[in-house]
Chains A and B, each alone.
Chain A
C-alpha cells in the first residue's frame, strides 16, 4: 500500500497541512516538539483506527478546536485508489470513512492498510510486562490474518463470559458444568491464536539473527526467541489437535483455583515471548543500546512477515530510532527497508541521512506544525 497524500486538519499542533509523499522513503526532520511524531500518529490512526500514544480523541484534537479531520489517499498493490478519512468532532464523536462510506465495524478496516511502527514507546516491548509483547503479536497478526482477529475477539468475549461465570459458580449460583460451552470456545479460538503466534515466532527465529547483524557491528551474537505458554512447554512441536487436548486438560486441572480467583489462569491471554541473547534474557541482561538494535531488527522481521503474508506491502513508521546508528549503517538500512514498503522516518538529525541514496523529494522539514518538502 502506498500513501500518496495526506490531509491533516486540527490534529495536535498541525493546523491544516497537505503532504504529497514519496512512494519509497520519506524523512521527516526538524527540532523536537515540531510535529514529526504527530504525522506518523495521523497515518497510524487511518490504518489501525486507534492512536499509539493517546487513549482518547480529545487528547489529539488541536487545542481550542472542535473537530479534526485526517484524510489519506492510498494506492493499493493492484492499483486501486482508496481514501480513508478519520473525522472527530466534539458533537458527533469519532467517525471513519472508507471511500466516503461510513465504516460501522472498525475491525473490517484492520489489515486493509498494514503498518509496522517502531517508536520509543516500543522499548517497553523487551523490558515491560508480558501484556506489551502479547499486544505486539495481536496487532501484527490481526493485520495480516483476518482469522486471527476474529479468533481473538471471540476468545476475549468467551473469556469475559467464563470469568463472570466463575464468580457465579463461586457464589453457588451456577453449577460448574455450565462452563462447558465457554471452555469449548476458549479452546477452539485460543488454539487458533496460539497456532498463528507460533508460526510467526518460527519465522522470527529464522530471520532475527540475520537482521540483527545488519544493524549491529557484533557479528557472532546468538539471538533467540521462544513462545512461553502456560499450557505446555513445547507447543511448537504439537499438532493443533494436541494443543486443544492439552489446553482442555489444563483448564480442568486449574478449575478449582480459577473458581477461587474468579478468573481464568490458563490460555494465550497469559502467554509471553522470551527474547534471549547468547542464552540470557534481554529483559534482564540487555543494555539499552543492544535493546534498541534488537528492536529495530525485530521490526524489520515484522515488516518482512507482513510483506510475505499480507496482500499489501506495509507502511513502515520509524519514529526517532536511528539516532545512535552511524551514517553508513543508516544508508544500508534504508536501502533494505525501502524494498519492504513505503517508509516514514522521523529524525532530529538530517545530516545522518546524507549518505543514503535520497533526493530532495524524500525530505520534509517539520517546523511548528508546518510541513514543507
Chain B
C-alpha cells in the first residue's frame, strides 16, 4: 500500500476505508479532500460524527434510530399502532418513510437469517417482535424484507411462528424487482408496493 508515511493522513485513510462501499483508493481521495478543505469544514464533519453517536441511540421498542428512549415514529400519536412493518435495517425505514404512504409503526430486525453468515433468528430482534405482537394492539404485520433468498426465508420463518396468532400477515409485493434492495428502489415504487400488499 502506498503511503507518504504521514501518520495523521494514514490514520484517517484507514478509518475511512472501514466504511461500507469505501475502498482504499476512495478513502485516499476523501482524506485528501478533507486535508485541502477549510478547517471549518473538517471541524463540522468531525462534530457531526461525534454528535450522531452522542445524541442518538436505538429505539427500545422498534430498534429504529432514536433521540430518546423511543423513536419519533413510536412516540407520534398520528401513527396507526395497529400496523407493524417489519424491515431489515434502518435504511429501509428511511426508504419507506420517503414514500409517504405508510402510516403504521416499524420493527427493525437488524438483519436476516443466514446460517452461512452465522446469523440465526436469535441474533436478530426476533424475540422482541413476537413480544410486541402479544402486548401491542397489532392487527396487521407487513413484512417488507428484501426479496433475497435470505429475506424470503426470514419472512417465511416469521409467518410460520405467527401461524396461531390472529394478526393478519402481509408482504409488500408487486413493483419491487426480485433481488433488488429496498434502499435502491425509488420512493414511488415502494409506495405502490405498500398499497398493493398481499396476504401470506
Contacts and interface: CB of A to CB of B under 8 A. Distances in A.
Interface stretch (A7-15, A150-158, A339-347): A150-158
Interface stretch (B92-100, B132-140, B146-154): B146-154
B160 A161 contact: no
Given A161-B150, A185-B149, A185-B156, A168 B115 contact: yes
B116 A182 contact: no
Contacts of B121: 178
A181 B156 contact: yes
A174 B120 contact: yes
A354 interface: no
B154 to A, nearest CB: 7
B33 interface: no
A160 B116 contact: yes
B178 interface: yes
A164 interface: yes
B179 interface: yes
Given A150-B179, A161-B114, A165-B115, A180 B150 contact: no
Contacts of A158: 149, 153
B156 A184 contact: yes
Q: How large is the interface on A (under 10, 10 to 19, 20 to 34, 35 or more residues)?
A: 10 to 19
Nearest to B120: A174
Contacts of A174: 115, 120
Contact of A181 (B113, B116, B179): B113
B103 to A, nearest CB: 29
Nearest to B156: A181
A161 B156 contact: no
Do most interface residues of chain B lie in helix, strand or loop, or is the interface mixed? Answer: helix
Given A165-B115, A184-B156, A185-B156, A178 B149 contact: no
Contacts of B41: none
B157 interface: yes
A182 B178 contact: no
B144 to A, nearest CB: 17
Contacts of B148: 157
Interface residues of B, number: 17
A182 B179 contact: no
A185 B153 contact: yes
A174 B160 CA distance: 17
Interface string A138-161: 000000000000100110011011
A181 B157 contact: yes
Nearest to B148: A157
Nearest to A161: B115
Interface string B150-175: 10111011001000000000000000
Contacts of A168: 115
B179 to A, nearest CB: 7
Contact of A180 (B114, B116, B152, B156): B156
Contacts of A184: 153, 156
Contact of A164 (B115, B157, B178, B179): B115
Contacts of A150: 178-179
Contacts of A180: 156-157, 160
A150 B142 CA distance: 24
Given A150-B178, A150-B179, A181 B154 contact: yes
Interface string A166-198: 001000001000101110110000000000000
Among B115, B154, B157: residue with most chain A CB under 10 A: B115
B153 A161 contact: yes
Interface in A177-227: 178, 180-182, 184-185
A178 B153 CA distance: 10
Nearest to B160: A180
A181 B160 contact: yes
B139 to A, nearest CB: 24
Contacts of A181: 113, 152-154, 156-157, 160
Given A154-B149, A161-B115, 13 more contacts: A157-B148, A158-B149, A158-B153, A161-B116, A164-B116, A168-B115, A174-B120, A178-B120, A181-B152, A181-B154, A181-B160, A184-B153, A185-B149
Interface of A: 105, 150, 153-154, 157-158, 160-161, 164-165, 168, 174, 178, 180-182, 184-185
28 contacts: A105-B179, A150-B178, A150-B179, A154-B149, A154-B152, A157-B148, A157-B150, A158-B153, A160-B116, A161-B114, A161-B115, A161-B116, A161-B149, A164-B116, A165-B115, A174-B120, A178-B120, A178-B121, A180-B160, A181-B113, A181-B152, A181-B153, A181-B156, A181-B157, A182-B153, A184-B153, A184-B156, A185-B149
